[in-house]
Structure 1
């Protein structure tokens, strides 16, 4: 009798152990980045109203969720950028600015909104920029009295630490043959900028020129241009360009186009 009681108790224990081992553990909590975003949570369509007698019942297929409408990005309130120091327009810039304003897409830009990055009136060359807000740029490259204009939004991501944009324009005539002008937008005002270790890392490479764009909020962006001989431009890489305090460095020929 005693043995039967022990066996029954043991059997009960084994049954309890089996029941515990077959029960799945609770699911771990969702990681923060896996939590659903309120903006992207699906909105279920309302269930159909019950049918009246004699009316065929609606289909029992599952309801397809409809995504919530996306909220458009609010317009930037930063306002236009202003130049500081040597980036401000001076009387000697008049012939270059006239070439810019003859461009059919230039619009009417006041002198206060134009940022001079590079000026050489004697040879009819220069680079000018303006920024209607901190998300948009216009770059005018003047060569031999003719302006080429590019207006685009800045990328919404940072290509490298502190680097918002590095892009290159088309080929332009120069004193040493056809050349390519690069344009970079760097967060903060850390100028002047220069090639690491040398002012001219390859023959006929132009120096780095920069100007500072300042917004009413106090935010600053550095605008850089530099030239390379078109025939000498490898696809990527090249020497680094660094700020004076070396807080920002990037390969001269890496183009990040948004």
Structure 2
């Protein structure tokens, strides 16, 4: 077909499109196999979605050993301070057994073992004074005369009139004589009378005997006994003092008990 014929044919087709809209474009040629997109390979099995197991902890033998923790002491807890133990000459000896036997024979007297009894005075003919303290707040005093004992157990006062002096009281009256008992802080013994610089007691006054009670807390108390004749006034021997004069108190001033 010549060029003029092609032009005439295309013009005729254009007129036909305008007239009937039935003149369609020829289909596109098929694509070459090389131009087709290549599909991605499909895995034969999907990956597992289960989490991998966590490693097992090492056995106790494989774990590093930690140093054992030292026990922590409980703070603010009260310590077991009793019973008091005798010190020095206050320790019970074989010769003191008659005094302990007399105290233990008294009805209702709960005398502890010998290592918790404090011997304050070893007098002649089986006389003397014993004491024991279950703790720092309570005491028992046994006054032995003629193989018979008079025992009294009381708490120490919570307050006192003189520094260092916990108690001055009467331990009983026997054979027209009054036995005084004093409890003093610290171990400042020996104790004796102070009368115008003299160490001797006045008329009607017996010597001062003392012993030391020691507690597990480290605290010590001095336990004193001395006598006076009932009804006898001796103004020259009104004070008892420690050997270093650190503590003094009126001998006849029973202000507690």
> So what's the TM-score if we normalise by structure 2?
0.66
Give the C-alpha shift of residue 257 in structure 1: 1.5
Q: 8 Å contact 1:162–1:186 — kept in the other structure?
A: yes
Unaligned runs of 5+ residues in structure 2 are 1-76
CA-to-partner distance for each residue in 1:116-160, whole Å, 9 max, x for gaps? 00012x412000000000000000000111000010000001320
Give the C-alpha shift of residue 202 in structure 1: 1.9
Distance 1:192 1:131, change over 3 A: same
Bigger radius of gyration: 2
- State the superposition RMSD in angstroms: 2.0
Could you say what secondary structure the match of 2:95 adopts? helix
CA-to-partner distance for each residue in 1:153-193, whole Å, 9 max, x for gaps? 000013201000000133212xxxx1100000001110000
Alignment partner of 1:81 is 2:84: yes
Distance 1:166 1:184, change over 3 A: same
Task: Tell me how many residue pairs correspond in the alignment.
Answer: 179
Give the C-alpha shift of residue 237 in structure 1: 9.7
Give the C-alpha shift of residue 77 in structure 1: 2.9
Q: Which residue of 99, 120, 123 corresponds with 2:102?
A: 99
Q: 8 Å contact 1:200–1:206 — kept in the other structure?
A: no
Task: Quote the residue 1:138 is aligned against.
Answer: 140
Q: 8 Å contact 1:118–1:209 — kept in the other structure?
A: yes
What is the alpha-carbon distance in structure 2 between the residues aligned to residue 159 and residue 241 of structure 1? 15
Q: 8 Å contact 1:199–1:207 — kept in the other structure?
A: no
Which region of structure 1 is more displaced relative to structure 2, 129-138 or 157-166?
157-166
What is the alpha-carbon distance in structure 2 between the residues aligned to residue 128 and residue 237 of structure 1? 28
> So what's the TM-score if we normalise by structure 1?
0.65
